[in-house]
A and B are shown apart, each in its own frame.
Chain A
Amino acid sequence: MIVAILDVVIAGLLLGGLYALIAMGLSLQYGVARVLNISHGEFIMLGGLTTWSLYTVFGINPLVSIAICGPAAFILGFIIHRTLFKRLLTSSTSPGVFESNSMLASFGLMFIIQNIALIAWGPEIRGYTYLRVPVNLAGALFGANRLVTLGFAIAIGLAFYLFLARTRLGKAIRAAAQDPTTAGLMGVNINLVLALCFGFGAAMASIAGMLISMCYPVHAVMGLEYAIIAIIVVVLGGLGSIPGSFIGGFILGLIGSIVTYFEPGLALAAYYVIFILLLLVRPTGIMGK
């Protein structure tokens, strides 16, 4: 019984680490740049498939490919914000209009990236084995790759939190999240900060994609499912709250693991039930103001 509980809890934490990482990226994009980026999942997919290609074709260690996927996704996200969303921001009459327009534009972006990936990689499901050695955690067995995943997720989460709390740029980002106009008046280069945030979000997504590819098979149409999970976690943690997203990720991971234990087919449905109840009862989330 205790082993079973431990099994479920650890599996939930392992899953939650991934969710937390994905959601932090989206939280940055929504909380600061105000773009509810549905194409977030596509960056995860790009990260996963790139890692797969690098590992199977060039033999590059998946953990090393962080150094390739992360910066590449950052640059891509930065450029997308600079060209697409900045233009939308200037042409939108009110923040509400910008939020709906940018959400719809990100849907368009999702279709574009997804179908380019389908043309490039094809619809096949790809997977590879790396670090798939069992590790014994108090009687429950888990793959070393999944533990590495959790470690990375926590490390990136903490590093990013310190970056936000301790550095000058982090302060600028927090200021922009609170009130973009006033932050701009105080000398924050607001367009640069928003684009940077979008880029950071994309980079986190692609690193998450790399970690996912270590544990699960990846394919070109996997993005949306993760994007929806990210949205659910972000709403759960409170729209725009980065610590909230981090905690929310682990909560959702635990819920998913518990539901899967009792009824495997219902995990995704359970997420939506939570999501819909949350929107109805407390749309500001657990850490929202």
Chain B
Amino acid sequence: MNITRVDLKKVWAPGLLLIILVLLATLSLYASTYTVIFLTSILMYIVLTLSWVIFSAPTGYISLAPAAFFGVGIYTSAILGKELPLPVVILIGGLASFCLALLVGALTLRLRGIYFAIFTFGLVELIKHLLLWYEIKFTGTRGRFVIVVDNTTIYYVMLTIFVVLLLTAYLIRRSKFGLALQSIGENEDAAAHTGVNVDALKTITFAVSAIFIGAAGAIMATRWTYIDPYIAFDFRYSFMSVLMAIFGGMGQFYGPILGAAIFAYLEEILLTKFPYYYMLIFGTILVVTILYLPDGLVGLVQKLRRRISGGKRAHT
């Protein structure tokens, strides 16, 4: 009796994941164009959030740089999109973000806690203003046009990025690197003393997580067709990732995914009609989550489950 239950549990999660992935992979066969576009947005937010979680959740460093990496990806697409084939552009977008993150990581090794957060935030604004100045001064225009790609292609590229990201996140978490990252989050000095190469590990993980954000930016740019520094380096993308991760809960992988999906849905129904109310709700949920749900939805689910199963045991 007990054995079958354990087996079911083992099969359950990967099985469900596989079914969802198959459904997502065959989406263009049965779903409408609207659904495809909508799911692309959801996947984009999931990619942003999950990438943020790879580095920030175990280490406790709050990075507000996702918008910078996203913007780098977008500009890669805008500059190279006409000359190079799409997969190459996306790879270069990821690579450019990787290099930027490597540089930032190496520069900020000494910064801890809140300094890291404000540094990364300043970075987004710095790039935005430098780029704006450059564009107006040297190209004479504020924005750029991006080559158009059809929606199904965008969707499949995003899905591919998502699957690779999920795999990477899983492997990092299950490897000794994941454990080392966790130990940095708990006590960085102690981690260094036990032989973890703290600086290298932080920098590499930060850079790896940036690849996916850059790639996502490179493909999303093709959907927007017109971009300027304000659109590309919108600091809201940083907060979206942070909020979605905190709201969903970072203890499990499904937490950030759930958080991202819920917010992408909210954005879809609210943003076009009531933009101010959407941002108002966004802020309110951020505050309420930090105050009352420190472990996010995942924490809530686990608490409820414990209460229910605890109740059962008490009765029998």
Contacts and interface: CB of A to CB of B under 8 A. Distances in A.
A231 B118 contact: yes
A238 to B, nearest CB: 13
Contact of B130 (A111, A112, A269): A269
B210 interface: no
A165 to B, nearest CB: 28
Nearest to A280: B107
B126 A111 contact: no
Chain B interface residue number, banded: 35 or more
Contacts of A276: 119, 122-123, 126
Interface in A241-289: 263, 265-266, 268-269, 272-273, 275-276, 279-280, 283
B115 A279 contact: yes
A111 B280 contact: yes
Interface stretch (A13-21, A83-91, A140-148): A83-91
B117 A100 contact: yes
B290 interface: yes
B102 to A, nearest CB: 16
Among A109, A111, A232, A263, find the residue whose CB has the most chain B CB atoms closer than 10 A. A111
A87 B291 contact: yes
Interface residues of A, number: 39
Provide the main secondary structure of the chain B interface.
helix
Nearest to A87: B291
Contacts, number: 110
B279 interface: yes
A77 to B, nearest CB: 15
B114 A84 contact: no
Given A112-B280, A279-B111, A105 B287 contact: yes
Contact of B133 (A101, A109, A110, A265): A265
Nearest to A117: B276
Among B122, B132, B291, find the residue whose CB has the most chain A CB atoms closer than 10 A. B122
Nearest to A107: B239
B137 interface: yes
A275 B122 contact: yes
Contacts of B239: 107
B267 interface: no
A59 interface: no
Contacts of B137: 265
B242 interface: yes
A269 B133 CA distance: 9
A279 B279 contact: no
Contacts of A265: 132-133, 136-137
A65 interface: no
A21 to B, nearest CB: 21
Contacts of A263: 133
A233 interface: no
A112 B283 contact: yes
Interface string B120-147: 0111011001101100110000000000
Nearest to A36: B114
A100 B113 contact: yes
Contact of B276 (A91, A119, A228): A119
A103 B294 CA distance: 14
A228 B284 contact: no
Top 5 nearest A-B pairs by Cβ distance?
A111-B283, A108-B286, A272-B126, A108-B287, A112-B283
7 contacts: A87-B291, A101-B290, A104-B246, A109-B283, A112-B284, A231-B118, A280-B107
